[in-house]
């Protein structure tokens, strides 16, 4: 069964126009329910154990999951090789001198979407960035040493973004989940 769709957009000074082909988007199989990998209960428990402490040995994991250490290592290796799991260091931004965490919503001209998201991803303050649907074209999460640094980022680097229409920042007051971030 094919997908019928039409997207309309307003051309400045020329009224409405219909797009005749789908917009170019980065393919994400999860958006279409085509996940390549499905975690079984043992893999889910393995991931949960390692998410609590990634340094847990395969012998300890095996004992807790009631499987052999070689099975634990094989499953872990497959999860990593398939790109399902990545093991890495996370930092607590508050303890590392970055007490200001902000979500930044960005509206900009569509033709600048890719370059703007690439620019944001290259900035050391930005920990997460994604193009989005809804009010904003891009959402980003950044960590900053102070609100003054956040202001300098928004008024400096971000304000220079080609095609920028609007930004709105949301300073996080009390993070309940997802406190640690990639360095």
Domain boundary among 19, 51, 81: 81
Of the candidates 51, 81, 111, which is a domain's last residue? Answer: 81
Position 20 in a domain: no
Positive or negative, the CA dihedral 74, 79, 81, 85 is negative
Q: Are residues 74 and 111 in the same domain?
A: no
**What tens digit of pLDDT does each residue of 144-178 get?**
999 999 999 999 999 999 999 999 999 999 988 88
Per the domain annotation, does 55 fall within a domain? yes
pLDDT at 8 (0 to 100): 37
CB–CB of 65/132 below 8 Å? Answer: no
Q: Please say if the pLDDT value at position 14 is more than 50.
A: no
Q: Is residue 77 part of a domain?
A: yes
Query: Radius of gyration (Cα) for the chain, nearest Å?
Result: 21
Question: pLDDT at position 111, please?
Answer: 96
Which domain CATH number covers 72? 1.10.10.10
pLDDT in tens, 74-111: 999 999 998 888 888 888 898 999 999 999 999 999 99
Same domain, yes or no: 119 and 60: no
Q: Are residues 55 and 109 in the same domain?
A: no
In which domain, by residue range, is 71 found? 41-81
Q: Is residue 26 part of a domain?
A: no
Say how many domains are in the chain. Answer: 2
Read off the CATH number of the domain in which 163 is found: 3.30.70.920
The string of DSSP letters for the chain reads -------EEEETTTEEEE-SSPPP----GGGGT--S----HHHHHHHHHHHH-TT--HHHHHHHHTS-HHHHHHHHHHHHHTTS------B-TTTTT--EEEEEEEEE-GGGHHHHHHHHHHSTTEEEEEE-SSS-SEEEEEEESSHHHHHHHHHTTGGG-TTEEEEEEEE-S---S---B--
For 27-84, the pLDDT digits (tens) are 455 555 556 668 899 999 999 998 888 899 999 999 999 999 999 999 999 999 988 8
Question: Is the pLDDT at 10 greater than 70, yes or no?
Answer: no
The structure's pTM equals: 0.69
């Amino acid at each position: 069964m094919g997908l019928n769709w039409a997207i309309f957009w307003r051309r400045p000074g020329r009224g409405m126009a219909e797009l005749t082909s789908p917009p170019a988007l980065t393919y994400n199989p999860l958006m279409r329910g085509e996940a390549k990998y499905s975690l079984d209960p043992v893999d889910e428990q393995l991931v949960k154990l390692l998410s609590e402490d990634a340094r847990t040995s395969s012998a300890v994991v095996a004992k807790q999951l009631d499987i052999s250490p070689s099975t634990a290592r094989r499953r872990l290796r497959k999860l990593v090789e398939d790109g399902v799991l990545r093991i890495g260091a996370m930092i607590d931004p508050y303890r590392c001198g970055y007490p200001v965490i902000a979500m930044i919503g960005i509206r900009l001209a569509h033709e600048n979407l890719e370059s703007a998201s690439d620019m944001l991803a290259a900035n050391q303050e930005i920990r997460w960035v994604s193009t989005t649907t809804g009010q904003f074209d891009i959402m980003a999460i950044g960590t900053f040493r102070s609100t003054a640094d956040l202001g300098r980022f928004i008024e400096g680097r971000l304000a220079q973004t080609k095609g920028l229409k609007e930004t709105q920042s949301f300073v996080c007051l009390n993070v309940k989940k997802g406190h640690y971030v990639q360095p």
